[in-house]
Chains A and B, each alone.
Chain A
Amino acid sequence: MTITDRSFQRLVRAAMTVGFALLLIAGLTMVHAVGDTARWTASVVHTYEVEQTIGRFSILAEQLETARRGFIINRNDASLQTYRRTMHDIPPTLDRIGALTIDNPSQQRRLVAVRREAEIHRASAHETIARMEDASPAMQAMADFGVDRSFVAMTDLRRLTQQMVDEEERLLVLRRAAQDRAGLSLYLILGVTGLLMIVVMGAALWVVRRYTTGLNASQDDLRMLNTGLEDAVAARTAELSRANDEIQRFAYIVSHDLRSPLVNVMGFTAELEATIAPLTTLIDRVDAEAPALMTAEAREAKADLPEAVGFIRSSTAKMDRLINAILRLSREGRRTLQPVAIDLAALTASIRDSFAHQLGATGAEIDVDGPFVPLVSDRLALEQILSNLIENAVKYLDPDRPGRIAVTARREGPRVVIDVIDNGRGIAPADHERIFDLFRRAGSQDQAGEGLGLAHVRALSYRLGGLITCVSRLGEGATFRLSLPPNLVDHAKEPSR
Chain B
Amino acid sequence: MSENSVNIIMIEDDEGHARLIEKNIRRAGIANHIRHFVDGTTALDFLFNHADGPARNGPALILLDLNLPDMSGIDILGKIKADAKLKRTPVVVLTTTDDKLEIQRCYDIGANVYITKPVNYESFGKAIQQLGLFLSVMQVPEVGDDA
Contact = CB atoms under 8 A, between A and B. Distances in A.
B16 interface: yes
Listed residue (B118, B119, B120, B122) with the most chain A CB atoms within 10 angstroms of its CB = B119
Q: Give the most central of B17, B96, B121, B125: most A CB within 10 Å.
A: B121
Nearest to A263: B117
Given A263-B20, A270-B121, A331 B67 contact: no
A259 to B, nearest CB: 4
B46 interface: no
B119 A263 contact: yes
A260 B121 contact: no
B120 A260 contact: no
Nearest to B23: A271
Nearest to B117: A263
Given A256-B96, A263-B124, A268 B67 contact: no
A257 B118 CA distance: 14
A135 B62 CA distance: 184
Interface in A254-277: 256-257, 259-264, 266-271
Contacts, number: 47
A256 B72 CA distance: 14
A320 interface: yes
Contact of A259 (B16, B23, B96, B125): B96
Contacts of B67: 256-257, 260
A256 B97 contact: yes
A101 interface: no
Interface residues of A, number: 17
Interface size class for chain B?
A: 10 to 19
B20 A267 contact: yes
A263 B96 contact: yes
Interface string B8-28: 000000101100100100000
A90 B147 CA distance: 175
A316 interface: yes
Contacts of A257: 67
A260 B96 contact: yes
B99 A260 contact: no
Contacts of A316: 119
B121 A269 contact: yes
A268 B24 CA distance: 12
B67 to A, nearest CB: 7
B26 to A, nearest CB: 13
Contact of B14 (A256, A260, A331): A260
A263 B99 CA distance: 17
Nearest to A267: B20
Nearest to B18: A264
A320 B117 CA distance: 13
A26 B20 CA distance: 111
Nearest to A268: B16
A377 to B, nearest CB: 23
Contact of B16 (A256, A267, A270, A331): A267
Contacts of A320: 119
A268 B20 contact: yes
A130 B20 CA distance: 177
Contacts of A259: 96, 117, 119
Nearest to A273: B121
A271 B26 CA distance: 14
Contact of B17 (A256, A264, A331): A264
A268 B23 CA distance: 11
A320 B124 CA distance: 14
Contact of A262 (B23, B119, B125): B119
A320 to B, nearest CB: 5
A260 B17 contact: yes
A228 B120 CA distance: 54
A266 B16 contact: no
A71 to B, nearest CB: 150
B120 A266 contact: yes
Contacts of A270: 121-122, 125
Interface string B109-144: 000000001111110110000000000000000000
Interface centre among A262, A263, A268, A270 (most CB of B within 10 A): A263
A330 to B, nearest CB: 10
Contacts of B125: 270
B117 to A, nearest CB: 5
A261 B96 CA distance: 10
B126 to A, nearest CB: 12
Contacts of B120: 266
B102 to A, nearest CB: 10
A293 B74 CA distance: 55
Contacts of B14: 260-261, 263-264
Nearest to A330: B99
Given A259-B117, A263-B14, A263-B124, 9 more contacts: A256-B97, A260-B96, A262-B119, A263-B117, A263-B118, A264-B17, A267-B16, A267-B20, A270-B121
